[in-house]
A and B are shown apart, each in its own frame.
Chain A
């Protein structure tokens, strides 16, 4: 469905020198490498999380895949099309929702944008009504669609954005930071919606987000990108096996014990009686558990993986 091979994008950015004459007549441009020979494939009905810090190349990738940007080099194929050609048959099968940009007509109620999209995507009356009904029900937004967009809250507006973007039932959806700036309830509503939509319409979704929670809750596959290069492409669970070398051991102590006994395991990262948490190397886990069972009276013991956020953060740190 989506195939990207050695995709490279270089931006030419104008740099001001501060000298007026030079800035007008001898402009200087700097090349910025946004994507560096990126390759990946995405199949039907996959939901892929694309994560990376600001300027990593996430949005650039989505913009090339949706046909907004022209790639500097490399091959891109989406649904068998070269996206930049912007063929009608291609555009009718995709949708791009950007958390920081809206396609709704600001001064008019969202329903007017929906009617415009009905015409633009040439939807028949029945399909339009059915989809609109379904989408407004999922979002509990039947009344909101009649309110001028400028009078909606950010969360309400985002719901309208989703409806406008999905009325034509796209096969591929690009979601760029769809939950940015939303409160936790709206974030939850959007996440649930994405999950349900993918299930029901068998859509392929690429999601970028600063909130790893979005990706953890929605995507099985994760692509981590930084400085235009892919650092990791695989399952969410495999990333822990591959890059995480630590485990967290939490204990609820039965009674206070000597520090020396506890600290033999290592310096705890949390020590507030009765709770103690140790960060230990994976390879040491059997010995540590055996030592705890043998030497430390406890009420509860829990062993947890390192948080994905930590793993990703370390990945970026190591790259730098």
Chain B
């Protein structure tokens, strides 16, 4: 049976380990949690020390004094633990002096009650005397004793909650840390419960600080093995909050009953409200047309927020949040300002109209007037140039159509029929050109916008070929879910500077290509999620390889798209 005296060596060990761990934690500053951990380990070592001094004190008064001073360590531990858990898991906003002060009220009162014990029975009744082995025995604790005990356990449990959260962390190091911290906490807590229940034969000596030496070993191991304070999860929570707060779009979190539970800075700005006024209030009071929002998904059309003078259109999306069992527990409603996008779209529409209508009309007029002149070489040149201007206008319009968001750009279309149309239209425009085609029997569906890409690639191959009988080879190959359309010609090849401009992705007044055709090939392929490569043909000419994903191989889908 363990006696009080036989605990002494264990108390010494707990002091040695506690002090060593204190120094290591001290050196880990300013890592999150290091200061509260220092306080916890000092408190534990102090508690053990006071027990030893109490046991070795010759007189009853001295024993009483050390027993009372031990309370400093006893009550500091739960506060330090709680603060450690908060800071370590990134909740350092609670480590302000006023919160620490509030948490310390019960511990400070406890120490005061302990040191003034001769005047009242709040903490415990009077000592009954000393036993032969030097252990002071007290009667049952007074009312404040149970308040302190309850407070200690509450802080212990509250501190464990965020730490346990680390157990579910994806990072192995954090899981190791969390497990170490929980074991380090449970050892003394379980010991204390057993001691208070009278289940430990320690002759009235509280062995809890000895159990804290187990915590010390665990913390030390965690410091060295799991890099307890070197690898800290503290920034995680802050980073998520930071992203939520600073994201450009507005975000409002509502619970299952449509009450606002959180909102970011942008949503406060967008809605022109004060977060403190609306948090906890009904969402339909702050979000216009709230009832029109879908449970999950995007709101059709736009939502205009603001007064008539300064209204802004927003794309609003509702995303359902579910718990681990898949039950909906709320939604995140996000607001994306589409004002600029809509304005840009309007500009494109105007440009489109200008390119489609005005340029064509003007060039037709020029063409008509020139036809009245004598049919000499000059008039022929002017006519050709007028036709080219119209062609540029047409291509510009096609390019704008590529970016027009209102159309579904990735609508699947049959590859065979797309190529059929492109080749057919090129043959109509250039009857002397020979266009050969080789493709597998299997047809697939690709993005519909590729029609512009193929047609430009094929037309370019013919158009820029000075030969009287230009030759173009269109080859289709398939590899898994990727289709390669190669357009090869026997022309002079694409000039280096044209390719360099495409590679840069932008043009300048000094460095630019000769037209829009290659740009349409590049932009269209990019939008379809593919890539385009330009190589030289053997013995002459160029090869444009358009690599795009297959959207469907389903024969029925492809057939239906073909019939469009």
- Whether A associates with B in a native complex is no
Query: Which residues of A does B touch, CB under 8 Å?
Result: none
Query: Which residues of B does A touch, CB under 8 Å?
Result: none
